[in-house]
């Protein structure tokens, strides 16, 4: 008997404070028009000083638990994807476990930059298929605003803060149909965030800020996401028309539009959140998925293709029947 990972709940959290393109134009030499035209972004949410990756994760997770209408004690695995953890250790998953009061399960973090949610779905799917876990909570949570150089106009316009959550449960009905994940460590220089302590030990005085060669990342992202779409359709014997919704990582509208074109989809079949959220890294796919479900676009029985690309480079897809 195949054991499938079914989606039973989703949640999302965005901090209250919003930073608009106009606000950024007061801080660096840029304009609303330039940012919107090149990226599709208008606003992004910025965490308050008291907020952390785990506090935001808790809000998103509690929403997912409420939607699923389960006792949180049923959760037997927590996976948190984040590049901006509260502490080096304990993991943000352990801190979330404490916040939720579910101390009899296992929790760990994964680091796959913007692909974190898709990698998390892939790991959870394997654990559910083998019978190791029955109910898995996956959260992508990021406070990107704390690793951004707010004087660098080429990166500060792109990122935002937020958390997205999904609860999976073992079932005999199809849920996650397949996941495909990849990484290639040969692209470190195009997109990285230094660890200041490690840099200092190596005699470099580097702040912990995102560095990105945007134009080069853009080109690799478009090609790679095109390939992952082909790989996912071929491996699962699907046609473009079998996909009801594309839920992409929200980095840039032009990258997303290229992927949609590859799928022969028009933009009405794409869940887009980046206009008002920016790139929330590992949170973005789950935030978009949550939005599509809660506003009634993604319905039970629909086939959803999620895809993401991020630092590493890492990339991947998750194909599921909702």
Catalytic positions, please?
A: 114, 249, 279
- Calpha distance 78→106 (Å, rounded): 6
DSSP 8-state class, residue 178:
E
Q: Among residues 177 and 210, whose Cβ is nearest to ligand ACO? A: 210
User: Minimum distance from CB of 42 to ligand ACO (Å)?
Assistant: 13
- Calpha distance 62→305 (Å, rounded): 25
DSSP β-ladder status, 135-143 and 161-171: antiparallel
Q: Which residues, 6 or more positions from 116, have their beta carbon under 8 angstroms from its beta carbon?
A: 81, 82, 83, 110, 140, 281, 282, 308, 310
User: Minimum distance from CB of 1 to ligand ACO (Å)?
Assistant: 38
DSSP 8-state class, residue 159:
B
- Calpha distance 262→269 (Å, rounded): 13
Q: What angle do CA 157, 59, 96 make, to 5 degrees?
A: 100
Q: Among residues 15 and 160, whose Cβ is nearest to ligand ACO? A: 160
User: Minimum distance from CB of 223 to ligand ACO (Å)?
Assistant: 12
- Calpha distance 56→84 (Å, rounded): 12
Q: Among residues 180 and 249, whose Cβ is nearest to ligand ACO? A: 249
User: Minimum distance from CB of 61 to ligand ACO (Å)?
Assistant: 23
Give one DSSP letter per residue of 90-154, joined into a string: S-HHHHHHHHHT-TTSEEEEE--GGGHHHHHHHHHHHHHHHTS-SEEEEEEEEEGGGGS-TT-HH
User: Minimum distance from CB of 4 to ligand ACO (Å)?
Assistant: 29
Q: Among residues 75 and 271, whose Cβ is nearest to ligand ACO? A: 271
Q: Among residues 30 and 111, whose Cβ is nearest to ligand ACO? A: 30
Q: Among residues 168 and 285, whose Cβ is nearest to ligand ACO? A: 285
Helix (H) or strand (E) holding 38: helix 32-39
Chain positions contacting ligand ACO, by CB under 6 A? 30, 34-35, 38-39, 113-114, 153-154, 157, 191, 214-215, 217-218, 221, 251-252, 255, 279, 281, 309-311
Q: What is the CA 225 to chain-centroid distance, rounded? A: 15
User: Minimum distance from CB of 188 to ligand ACO (Å)?
Assistant: 12
- Calpha distance 269→3 (Å, rounded): 29
């Amino acid at each position: 008997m195949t054991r499938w990972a079914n989606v039973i709940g989703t949640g999302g959290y965005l901090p209250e404070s919003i930073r608009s393109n106009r606000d950024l134009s007061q801080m660096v030499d840029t304009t609303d028009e330039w940012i919107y035209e090149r990226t599709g972004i208008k606003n992004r949410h910025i965490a308050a000083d008291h907020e952390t990756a785990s506090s935001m994760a808790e809000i998103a997770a509690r929403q997912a638990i409420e939607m699923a209408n389960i006792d949180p004690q049923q959760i037997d695995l927590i996976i948190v994807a984040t590049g901006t953890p509260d502490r080096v250790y304990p993991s943000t998953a352990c801190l979330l476990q404490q916040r939720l009061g579910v101390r009899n399960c296992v929790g760990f973090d994964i680091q796959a930059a913007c692909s974190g949610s898709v990698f998390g779905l892939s790991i959870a799917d394997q654990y559910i298929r083998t019978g190791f876990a029955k109910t898995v909570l996956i959260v992508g949570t990021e406070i990107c605003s704390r690793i951004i150089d707010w004087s660098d106009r080429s990166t500060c316009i792109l990122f935002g803060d937020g958390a997205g959550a999904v609860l999976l449960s073992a079932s005999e009905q199809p849920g996650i149909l397949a996941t495909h994940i990849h990484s290639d460590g040969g692209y470190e220089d195009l997109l990285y965030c230094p660890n200041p302590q490690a840099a200092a030990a190596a005699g470099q005085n580097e702040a912990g800020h995102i560095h990105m060669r945007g134009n080069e990342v853009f080109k690799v992202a478009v090609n790679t996401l095109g390939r992952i779409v082909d790989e996912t359709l071929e491996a699962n014997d699907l046609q473009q028309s079998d996909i009801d919704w594309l839920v992409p990582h929200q980095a840039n509208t032009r990258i997303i539009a290229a992927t949609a074109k590859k799928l022969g989809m028009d933009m009405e079949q794409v869940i887009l959140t980046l206009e008002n959220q920016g790139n929330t890294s590992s949170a973005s796919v789950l935030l978009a998925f949550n939005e599509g479900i809660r506003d009634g676009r993604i319905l039970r029985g629909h086939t959803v293709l999620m895809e993401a690309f991020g630092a590493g480079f890492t990339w991947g897809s998750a194909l599921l029947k909702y």
